[in-house]
Amino acid sequence: MSKTAIIIGGGVAGMETAGQLNRLGIEVVLIEKQASLGGHLKNWDRLFPDRRESQEVFDYLEKGMNDGISLYLNATISDIREAGGKFTVILEDGRELSSDALVLATGYDLFDARKKEEYGFGIYDNVITSAELEEFFRNNKQKNLFEGVQSKRVGIVHCVGSRDEKVGNLYCSKLCCVTGVKQAIEIRELMPDAEIFCFYMDLRMFDRHFEEMYYEAQEKWGIRFIRGRLSEAAENPDHTILVKVEDTLTGLPLKMKVDLLILLVGFVPSPETKRLAGMLGLKEGDDRFLCPSDEHLLPNSTDHPGVFLAGTLKGPASIAATIVDARAAALQVAEYLVNGER
Ligand SMILES: Cc1cc2nc3c(=O)[nH]c(=O)nc-3n(C[C@H](O)[C@H](O)[C@H](O)COP(=O)(O)OP(=O)(O)OC[C@H]3O[C@@H](n4cnc5c(N)ncnc54)[C@H](O)[C@@H]3O)c2cc1C
Ligand code: SF4
């Protein structure tokens, strides 16, 4: 009799795990709380590092969603029960779904920039987040951010909600530096006369092609990088934003007027993941992301037999890394279902 796996979360991680398991002959049930699949991916426009359309990655993932996968959208999980090695997931409308293994792929949330009140997000119109800028790019292809005004000044603030003891997040979100560099280039493409300043603590361009993008941003596009932490943003009467920064290279305080301030918001663990983890007794780390049973050797297994993890519920990761992780998860689930090993 064929085995069944339930996957919770239909973002990149959940879709790829589902597609891979299905190709291995395992029946898959995919549960997504939203009305459509894709998770955060569907909000992004062009992806780093090569600036391909996010739709291309979504199309690949969607192709994997064939007949062997039962899809439950708009689904809220009210409980998870376990008996005799079988899991039963109970949905809010009373439906019960059962399986031999469970994969949590519930992803991450964006840091709520309102928590950094001193940056003025939610108070001043011209302070937006990197996620909102992606939405703008996605919906307004080729449109000038400032409707016809050519020469404008834009500030990009790194580490918003990450590496910040005050908000309780000591970890680095890993991908906001490269997102900021990508977005700076994209703004210059749309507005060749715009002046762009990135305010950073240190740049973490760790992955392949990232450092090259940073060079391109400086040499080809003239984007300026100022090492310093923003202390405050205040609105001027003309709705421009006055930013106060301490330049940590020169040691001098700096004041600058910008027309638009973009906050590079980080990843935070989602309360939904915490809720489901609580039902299953799963471990979370000091950073509140979930922990596998062995970071080196069993990165997708948990201490709970039959329960697996895939994607960014374990911490910040790119789409490429998430796809690799989802494939590893599928293999670990298949091994468990065939050989009982985790
Ligand atoms: C501003 C920004 C820009 C980015 N740009 C890029 C880029 O250009 N290139 C790149 O490689 N990476 C980029 N990333 C990273 C990328 O977003 C992640 O790698 C990717 O989204 C991770 O996928 P995931 O499936 O782990 O999580 P998610 O995308 O968060 O998907 C999780 C899914 O689980 C669902 N879910 C959650 N809880 C439940 C529940 N209880 N029941 C059912 N479903 C649930 C959610 O609705 C969601 O659909 C960017 C990140 C940010 C913040
Ligand atoms: S990736 Fe860059 S912007 Fe994001 S938290 Fe790390 S250092 Fe800060």
Pocket test for ligand 2, best of 110, 130, 163, 203 (most atoms within 8 A of CB): 163
Number of domains composing the chain: 2
Residue ID of nearest Cα to ligand 1 atom 20: 319
Burial of 325 (0-12, 13-18, 19+ CB in 10 A): buried
Within 8 A by CB and 6+ apart from 31, the residues are 6, 7, 8, 9, 10, 72, 75, 77, 89, 91, 97
Q: Of the residues 208, 238, 267, which one is the last residue of a structural domain?
A: 267
**Per-residue tokens: 306:** 């039959």
Tell me: do 186 and 256 sit in the same domain.
Answer: yes
- Give the 3-state secondary structure of 152-211: CEEEEEEEECCCEHHHCECCCCCCHHHHHHHHHHHHHHHCCCCEEEEEECCCCCCCCCHH
Average pLDDT, the chain: 95
306's torsion region: left (phi>0), alpha (psi -120 to 50) or beta? left
Mean pLDDT for the stretch of residues 220-241: 94
Tell me: do 138 and 259 sit in the same domain.
Answer: yes
**pLDDT > 90: what percent of the chain?**
89
Pocket test for ligand 2, best of 160, 264, 312 (most atoms within 8 A of CB): 264
Question: Would you state the pLDDT for residue 248?
Answer: 86
Tell me: do 274 and 262 sit in the same domain.
Answer: no
Each residue's pLDDT tens digit, 75-133:
999 999 999 989 999 999 999 999 999 999 999 999 999 999 999 999 999 999 999 99
**Full residue range of the structural domain in which residue 89 is found:** 4-107+270-339
Question: Would you state the pLDDT for residue 145?
Answer: 76
Each residue's pLDDT tens digit, 41-61:
999 999 999 999 999 999 999
In the predicted model, is pLDDT for residue 342 greater than 70?
Answer: no
Determine which of 8-12, 142-146, 197-201, 325-329 has the lowest per-residue pLDDT on average.
142-146
Which amino acid makes up residue 337? Answer: L
Ligand 2 touching residue 315 (CB < 6 A): no
Alpha carbon distance 232, 217 (integer Å):
26
Q: Of the residues 218, 248, 267, which one is the last residue of a structural domain?
A: 267
**CATH code for the domain of 99:** 3.50.50.60
Give the confidence band of 149 by pLDDT, cuts at 50, 70, 90. low
Mean pLDDT for the stretch of residues 282-299: 96
